[in-house]
Amino acid sequence: MKNTLIAVMSACFVMLVASCQGGSQEKAVSTPSVNNGNAVIETIMTRRSIRKYKPQKVGRDTVETIVRCGIYAPNAMNKQEWEIRVVDNKADISRLTEIYKRYNEKAAKDPSMVTMFRNAWTVVFVAKTGGSDINVGLLGENMALAAWSMGVGSCFLGGPIEFLTRTEEVRPFIDKLELPEDAELVYCLALGYPDESPEAKPRDADKIRFIE
């Protein structure tokens, strides 16, 4: 039920993303879609989770636009029960990755792993300070669609949050985020310029029914 509500609400509010389009970045690779010339529908239908990124960082101005689109998501009673922290410091991300490799033998043996965030150098950490997970879900959807509209790929990651919250060695990094005491990290969003063009996975249209 929760997932359905998120999907329906997301489809209603992403018109906000249209006002966030622009920038000089290269356009993200898209796949064919039925959009009737509608830029918002094009963004929704072509957005993919990106797990391979080019080494260049996303500019601060672009990231600020992405996260500002995020906070314009609908949320219960406009309480805005979330906290957003953007980390694009290569030293911090590299240090976290080295710690992660010490705890993960498979990752340590992977020569392609540059960062523990799918090799992205810009990571948005999202925490909730109360309310429903729906609020931070809508926030994330806004950011992902806004990013794609500006040629920036993204991927929602839960594994790194689990590692960061249960590993005492990374406590200094968590403290550096300066989150309120009641904040709970929910997910992080990797951002970067796509270095892959994944095809859309099949969607089951039979899940949709109109009730007469």
**Residuewise pLDDT in 10s, the chain (212 residues):** 444 444 434 444 444 444 444 443 444 444 444 667 899 999 999 999 999 999 999 999 999 999 999 999 999 999 999 999 999 999 999 999 999 999 999 999 999 999 999 999 999 999 999 999 999 999 999 999 999 999 999 999 999 999 999 999 999 999 999 999 999 999 999 999 999 999 999 999 999 999 99
> Which residue type is seen at 199?
E
Burial group, residue 34, by CB count within 10 angstroms (0-12, 13-18, 19+):
exposed
> Which residue type is seen at 2?
K
Number of Cβ within a 10 Å radius of residue 6: 18
Tell me how far apart the alpha carbons of residues 59 and 56 are, in angstroms, rounded to a whole number: 9
DSSP-derived pairing of the beta strands 184-192 and 122-128: antiparallel
pLDDT score of 36: 77
Domains of the chain (ranges; CATH) run 2-20+39-198 (3.40.109.10)
CA distances from 52 to 34, 61, 70 (A): 26, 22, 23
Neighbouring-strand partners of residue 185: 127
Going edge to edge, which strands form the sheet with 184-192? 82-87, 122-128, 184-192, 153-157
CB of 99 closer than 8 Å to CB of 171: no
Angle subtended at Cα 147 by Cα 172 and Cα 156, rounded to the nearest 5 degrees: 50
Look at residue 153 and give its three-state secondary structure.
strand
Tell me how far apart the alpha carbons of residues 46 and 38 are, in angstroms, rounded to a whole number: 12
pLDDT score of 37: 87
